[in-house]
Amino acid sequence: MTKKILLLTTTLLAFFFSAQAQSVEEMQATKAAKEAELAPLETQLADLQGKVDALKADVADLTEKLTPYPRWDLGAQGNLGLSISGFNNWYPKATPNTTAVNIGFTSGAFANLQQRKYFWRNNLNLALAWLKFDNEDVGDDNPDFQVAADAFNVSSLFGYKLSEKWAISTLGEYRTSILDGKFNNPGYLDLGAGATWTPITDLVVVFHPLNYNFVFSDSDFNYESSLGCKVVADYQKEITKGLAWKSNFSGFYSYKSSDLHNWTWLNGLTTAVKGIGVGFDIGLRKNKQEALAANPLRSDNPLQFYYLIGLSYALATKK
């Protein structure tokens, strides 16, 4: 009986390994056949892809030649935020009787000119916000609107094209606050020259190692002007239909002292459909001279920022 069981087991194992070996051989043969079938198809696909890329390049070249000069690209977008709240005898609050109003507004506009040999790009950005908080149980608090955000920036970039991606350029940029007597107090004017790189249509990078940063002020603080390097990066992209992102970085690096460095980074995200949607704006800045003017005893350089969420609008034209 034991010999019969042993013989049966041996037979089953031999059949199993034989079937497995046969299955592996069949799969190897199938693989070889499919590889042989795939090889000419890959060659055909590579040939077709090359033809498609060549046709796309031809179409882009013809579109470029057919589009007349001068080419103007004009547009504007912005964000409006408004919030109103009121509490009356709301005792869970430390101040049960209050009203608050917050109004904010950001706007950006551009006018860009393209010619065969040169370009001219102009940008304007404005951010304003007011806050009113009234504690009705306190008679001497300030019931008026107070400035919560205040930033104005305008720039003009001219470049002579050396190639499709590189140009020698000159830039003028002015930035200041405009409310509460802060216009041009302080005000910053950058004038410089260098190179502009446009690696893709949506991105413009400015590098000006010869730049003078003029600082204007009527305050008691001694703001300093200096020679340095100017770096600007401007990016505008429609990520998908109805969702657009605009980002602008502007930085000055003084050759005289790190205390005179400053930079501003503005970002705006809009979901405009037919020009109207929801927007989110955030502005970041570091400027040690401004920090010292606010508090001469401080040694750090804190990050300045504002943000605004609200209804957005977008307008654009090309010709």
Which residue in 237, 245, 167 sits closest to 206, CA to CA? 167
**Ranges of residues in the chain whose predicted pLDDT is under 50:** none
The whole-angstrom separation of Cα 315 and Cα 317 is 7
What CATH fold (topology level) applies to the domain 71-318?
Outer membrane phospholipase (ompla); Chain C (2.40.230)
Which pLDDT value is given to residue 299?
79
* 3-state SS class at 187: strand
Q: Where are the beta strands (DSSP E) in the chain?
A: 71-87, 98-114, 118-135, 146-161, 166-176, 187-200, 203-216, 226-240, 243-254, 262-270, 276-287, 304-318
The answer to whether the beta carbons of residues 261 and 283 sit under 8 Å apart is: no
Which pLDDT value is given to residue 50?
85
Which pLDDT value is given to residue 312?
73
Which pLDDT value is given to residue 257?
93
Calculate the alpha carbon distances from 189 to 156, 176, 270, 303, 312 in Å: 12, 9, 29, 21, 29
Cβ partners under 8 Å of residue 179, min gap 6 = 128, 147, 150
**pTM to 2 decimal places:** 0.74
Which pLDDT value is given to residue 24?
67
How many CA atoms, within 13 angstroms, populate the side-chain half-sphere of residue 268? 28
Which pLDDT value is given to residue 207?
97
Tokens of 167: 């140009």
Q: Following DSSP, what letter does each residue of 68-84 receive, concatenated?
A: -SSEEEEEEEEEEEEEE
- Report the phi/psi class of residue 218: left, alpha or beta, with left for phi > 0 and alpha for psi in -120 to 50: alpha
* Residue listed under structure tokens 């991105």: 203
Q: What is the pLDDT of residues 248-291, one digit of tens each?
A: 999 999 999 999 999 999 998 888 777 677 888 889 999 999 88
- Sorted by where each begins, the domain ranges of the chain are 1-67, 71-318
